[in-house]
Amino acid sequence: MSFNPAEIKKQFPILQRQIDGNPLVYLDNAATTQKPQAVLDALSHYYTHCNSNVHRGAHTLADEATRLYEAAREKVARFINAYDKKEVIWTAGTTEAINIVANGAKQLLKSGDEVIVTEMEHHANLVTWQQVCKISGASLKVAPITDDGELDVAAFQKLLNGNTRLVAMPHISNALGTINPLHELIPMAKSVNALVLVDGAQGIAHGDVDVQALGCDFYAFSGHKIFAPTGIGVLWGKAEILSDWPVWQTGGEMISVVTYDSATWGELPNRLEAGTPNIAGAVGLGAAIDWFSGLDLEAVKAHEQLLMQKAVELSTGVDGLIIKGNAPHKIGVFSFIIEGTHPADIGFLLDKQGIAIRTGDHCAQPLMKRLGVPGTARASFSIYNTVEDVEALFKALQKVKMMLM
Amino acid sequence: MSLPTTDEILDDLAFFDSWEERYKYIIDLGKALPAFPAELQTPDRLVKGCQSNVWLEIAGDNERIEFLVDSDAVIVKGLLVLVLAAYNNKSAQQILAFDIDAYFKQLDLERHISPTRGNGLKSIVARINSIAKAALA
């Protein structure tokens, strides 16, 4: 298969936009990815031809909608190599997926139990566990990172002991791009019989996710980080764990038998999916996975590394620019500061030139504190970004420097 | 330095053709804003935006409320000068009577007061108004 980012870019209508008269250069892909025409078409087709509620209704539309919706679940299951499609629970996104696990954990953990997170967590995988610990009496342990933004594996191992009940960690850091060595870390956690939850928000579009090979118990991700709509995400969990996991929301769809005094819960996946789901979102995610899987994923990765190399190379020409996150294994996340300037000023003046990046604490305030910065400017690359986009970023940065200094 | 008046600012900005000149002007206003004493950068003086911090301190009396402001982002500092031009050393009544939306419109600052720009401009206007209201209560 061939891979041509300029051709791919043409499949994303939004990338043809202009901002203040400049062509849009979208470099905020760690926040959300844009949607290809194939996904837009799937959404439009669903609402134009098949819209109906699923799993009920004695009519053709209901059948068609249910078929599309369940086919999307199968696509996700295949994409992440789940053991069974019933292990794929639809959620609103990564945050809700983590909260489903946290909601159960807070009922199951007790004083004396320990939960481990890392210093590179997004608030979604930090505040949730902090609150679980507060409510359950368990203690929260934080595995440190090095100055380069890599997890300190030896220190992580030292935190593990017979009281460790759960390890929650990101596959890939959203703020720094660091890829965690899950194949090393998960067996360590498993050696003390801890449950392992992987926050896959950044991993899903970059990490060759194979939940069986990883050996984790839960993997959470959002559709919108992999070219699908917002408002749809997935909690994958091993069937033997999820079938007894405390239910999340209660209501329709998730029950088996209901009386005025009691209710019994349905089977997986329904028991964790109360109410009418985001059907169009699921269909859109299925379409996004089809589209993404059609690409040469090795070439995609190589291209992203090329963009990153180009960024690092061009950054040496910007006085005072310091890259935050220098792990040897990282995705195309270019997080930086420029001495004597504030990230918000950089972001604003880049936007005036059509360059979209993210600035701030990236929902990781403790990590920013650890790095000794109030925040960073972050350019994050995706498959439709070109070397010209990276060059445009640095050309624009020169103007930013000129204006601010 | 004495702060420019709203009329001076509107005149100056009207003179520029390019966004670069407009923002260079705002950046220079920000740089010229007197330093805010570090010991005043306390949490209770913080008007927090998502992307940068803004601090606000008041002095003077109801007849002439004096505002000291600071931010860690220089464009925000410059924008604060634009806001202070409208409010600084005014009475509580004058502050409440000022049509800030019309002023922002004249400045063409829509982008800065949009909901995604967590730079505290809107919050600082709200804070200044509540200070003025409290002064009259």
- Domain span at residue A19 reads 5-30+296-404
Q: How many CB atoms lie within 10 A of CB B68?
A: 18
The CATH number that applies at residue A245 is 3.40.640.10
Residue A337 lies in a domain: yes
The domain tally of chain A equals 2
pLDDT tops 70 at residue B112: no
Q: Which has the minimum average pLDDT: A61-75, A211-225, B103-117?
A: B103-117
CB contact under 8 A, B52 and A344: yes
For testing contact with chain B, the best of A363, A398, A401, A403 (most B CBs within 10 A): A403
Segment A206-212 shows an average pLDDT of: 92
Question: B124 falls in which pLDDT band (50, 70, 90)?
Answer: confident
Give the chain A residue nearest B73 (alpha carbons): A342
pLDDT tops 60 at residue B88: yes
Count of CB pairs separated by less than 8 Å, A with B? 39
Q: What is the pLDDT of residues A81-93, one digit of tens each?
A: 999 999 999 999 9
pLDDT tops 70 at residue A339: yes
Give the chain A residue nearest B120 (alpha carbons): A344
pLDDT tops 90 at residue B109: no
Burial A40-63 (b: 16+ CB within 10 A, else e): bebbeebeeebebebeeeeeeebe
Predicted local confidence at residue B117, as pLDDT: 54
- Which of A238, A263, A293 marks a domain boundary? A293
Domain boundaries, chain B: 6-136
Nearby residues of A361 by Cβ (< 8 Å), 6 or more positions away: A367, A368, A374, A375
Segment A12-41 shows an average pLDDT of: 97
Length of chain A: 405
CA distance A34 to chain B (A): 18
pLDDT tops 90 at residue B122: no
For testing contact with chain A, the best of B52, B70, B109 (most A CBs within 10 A): B52
Give the chain B residue nearest A21 (alpha carbons): B19
Torsion on CA atoms B123, B128, B132, B133, rounded to nearest 10? 0
- Do A314 and A206 reside in the same domain of the chain? no
**Annotated catalytic residue B50:** yes
- Which of A255, A271, A293 marks a domain boundary? A293
Question: A286 falls in which pLDDT band (50, 70, 90)?
Answer: very high
CB contact under 8 A, A404 and B23: no
Q: How far is CA A26 from the centre of its chain?
A: 18
- Do A218 and A349 reside in the same domain of the chain? no
Residue A35 lies in a domain: no
- Do A18 and A46 reside in the same domain of the chain? no
- Do A10 and A102 reside in the same domain of the chain? no
Q: Which residues of A touch B52 (CB under 8 A)?
A: 342, 344, 374
- Do A216 and A365 reside in the same domain of the chain? no
Segment A390-405 shows an average pLDDT of: 97
Predicted local confidence at residue B46, as pLDDT: 85
Question: A104 falls in which pLDDT band (50, 70, 90)?
Answer: very high
- Do A269 and A231 reside in the same domain of the chain? yes
Query: Which residue is it, tokens 């900005």?
Result: B13
Is residue A239 within 8 Å of A87, Cβ to Cβ? yes
Predicted local confidence at residue B54, as pLDDT: 87
Q: Which residues of B touch A344 (CB under 8 A)?
A: 51-52, 73, 75-76, 119
Q: Which of B19, B24, B76 sits opposite A344 (nearest CB)?
A: B76
Residue of B50, B59, B102, B137 with catalytic role: B50
- Do A252 and A145 reside in the same domain of the chain? yes
Residue A338 lies in a domain: yes
Q: Which of B24, B74, B118 sits opposite A345 (nearest CB)?
A: B74
Residue A36 lies in a domain: no
Q: Which residues of B touch A343 (CB under 8 A)?
A: 51
Residue A216 lies in a domain: yes
| Token digits of residue A300 | 């995609």
Three-state SS letters, chain A? CCCCHHHHHHCCHHHHCEECCEECEECECCCCCCCCHHHHHHHHHHHHHHCCCCCCCCCHHHHHHHHHHHHHHHHHHHHCCCCCHHHEEEECCHHHHHHHHHHHHHHHCCCCCEEEEECCCCHHHCHHHHHHHHHHCCEEEEECECCCCCECHHHHHHHCCCCEEEEEEECECCCCCEECCHHHHHHHHHHCCCEEEEECCCCCCCCCCCHHHHCCCEEEEEHHHHCCCCCCEEEEECHHHHCCCCCCCCCCCCEEEECCCCEEECCCCHHHCCCCCCHHHHHHHHHHHHHHHCCCHHHHHHHHHHHHHHHHHHHCCCCCEEECCCCCCECCEEEEEECCCCHHHHHHHHHCCCEECEEECCCCHHHHHHHCCCCEEEEECCCCCCHHHHHHHHHHHHHHHHHHC
Residue A381 lies in a domain: yes
CB contact under 8 A, A343 and B119: no
- Which of A259, A293, A327 marks a domain boundary? A293
Is residue A234 within 8 Å of A76, Cβ to Cβ? yes
Predicted local confidence at residue B121, as pLDDT: 77
Task: Please give the mean pLDDT across all residues of chain A.
Answer: 96
Query: Which residue is it, tokens 């209770």?
Result: B44
- Do A278 and A394 reside in the same domain of the chain? no
- Do A219 and A360 reside in the same domain of the chain? no
Rg (CA), chain B: 14
- Do A327 and A260 reside in the same domain of the chain? no
ipTM of this predicted structure: 0.90
User: Measuring CA to CA, which residue among A298, A293, A299 is closest to residue A76?
Assistant: A293
Q: What is the pLDDT of residues A180-195, one digit of tens each?
A: 999 999 999 999 999 9
Predicted local confidence at residue B52, as pLDDT: 80
Residue of A50, A133, A216, A363 with catalytic role: A363
* CATH architecture classification, B6-136: Alpha-Beta Complex (3.90)
Q: Which of A352, A359, A404 sits opposite B19 (nearest CB)?
A: A352
Q: Which has the minimum average pLDDT: A60-64, A333-337, A367-371, B72-76?
A: B72-76
